[in-house]
Structures are given as C-alpha cells and as structure tokens.
Amino acid sequence: MTATSPATRPPRYRRTRARRVIRNTARALLPRRIGLRHRILISFGAGAMILSGVLAITTYGFTRNSFVQQRERSEINQAFANAKRVQTDLLANPTDVIGALEQFGSAKRLLYSSGVWTSNAQSFTQSDIPTSLKTQVVTNLKAANMISNHGANAAIIVGIPLERANAYYFELESLRETQDALRSVFIALMLSGAITTAVGIGLGLLVSGRTVRPLVLAAQAASAIAEG
C-alpha cells in the first residue's frame, strides 16, 4: 500500500486543514477572556488612577492660579510704590535718572522720558516690553501689566505713566521662584497619584482574593463530588 502524497490529497482534506489553520490563527489573535479576579484588579487600579489624575489636575490648576495671582498682585503693588518714589526723585532732580531707578529690590526698571529709554539693567531694554503694553502705557496713559517670557523664565512687566514727571515707568520682575514652586507642587501631586494608584491596586488584590476564594472552594468541592 502506497502513502498518499500531499500533492495528491483530496480537495476536501485541504479545505478542512485550511479552515483549521484559520480558526487557530483567529483564536491566537483574539484577546483571551479576562478572569473575574483580573477584572476586579483592573477596575480598582483604573479607578484609582483616574481619581488621582482628576484630583491632581484640579489641585494643580487651582494652586497655579492662586500662586500666579498672588504674585501678580504683590508685584503690581510693589511696582506702584517704586514708581511713586521714582517720580518723587525725578521731580527733585530731573537729570539724575539712573539715581532715581536705583532702588532696593531685584526688579529691573526702565524709564522712558523725553524720547530716551534709560534702564538700570542691561538685560531689560525697550525691546523686552510687548507692543500692546507699551501702547497702553505711553499712548493711552493707563497703567497696565502683562506676563511675558524673558529669557528662559516668565516675568511680569508693569507699566505706569508718571504724569507729573512727564515720563513712563516700566518694571520687570522674574517669576522664576513661582515656577519652581509650581514645579515642586507638580512633582508632589504626581507622587501622590502614584501612591494612590498603588493603594488602589492593593485593595483590588485584597477584594479580588476574597471574592474569588468562595468560587474556587465551590469548584474544588464540585470536582471532589464528581470524582466520587
């Protein structure tokens, strides 16, 4: 008796084999059904992650707005106080512009008077002032402020017209400390979120173990009864 070669096998056999290959491939590609224990674990972990993410985003947004607004109010008040002193010094001695700008504090100051720009810092010039802010102060004669990028950090620029001295005062204060504080808050919130997620996964393991245990015991009892 001679063996049938693959080339001489009937078409029905080849179709059955092709169907078997397709069925096995489809089973391998389709995701397997997730067990009850894993579903509980995923639910607790995903829930904890979503909850911690929402809380982190909300807390960071509120903290950021609070920090920025508080720093902005503080710098505006300080800028008005400095502008008042500059105006007083200019009225007393109009030629000593540099002396009027040299005051205490880390703020950079710029004065526009009689078509001349004078600054107490080389890193703060006319080009650092946004056009809209300059127009609001010089043209519209209204005090204004704006947060703008200055170098690698954000900074708040306050512009105040000095009508009695016929000049325009601009003050720049870096927000680097505020950015560093917000960065620390962000890192702390991320760590808190990771801890919350880990706790959620731990609770999921505990609950899933207690939930599945009676089912496992029942299955073992049924198997023992079936075996006699």
* Strand stretches in 116-212, DSSP E: 116-119, 144-150, 153-162, 167-174
Higher pLDDT among residues 60 and 39, named by residue:
60
> Euclidean distance between the first and final Cα of the chain, in Å?
48
Average pLDDT on 134-163 reads 90
**CATH numeric code, 71-175:** 3.30.450.20
Residue with tokens 């947060």: 147
Going from N- to C-terminal start, the domains of the chain cover: 71-175
- Of 18-22, 25-29, 150-154, 174-178, the range with the lowest mean pLDDT is 25-29
The most confident of 16-20, 70-74, 201-205, by mean pLDDT: 70-74
Listed range (53-62, 102-111, 203-212) with the worst mean pLDDT: 203-212
**Segment 72-122, tens digit of pLDDT:** 898 999 999 999 999 999 898 888 888 888 877 778 999 998 889 999 888
The secondary element (H helix, E strand) that includes residue 64 is helix 36-92
Which pairs count as long-range contacts for 211-219, CB under 8 Å and 24+ apart, including other chains? 211/36, 211/37, 211/40, 212/36, 212/37, 215/36
Q: Which residues pair with 155 in a beta bridge?
A: 148, 174
Q: Which pLDDT does position 1 carry in this prediction?
A: 46
3-state SS class at 172: strand
* Nearest residue to 112 via CA among 57, 150, 168: 168
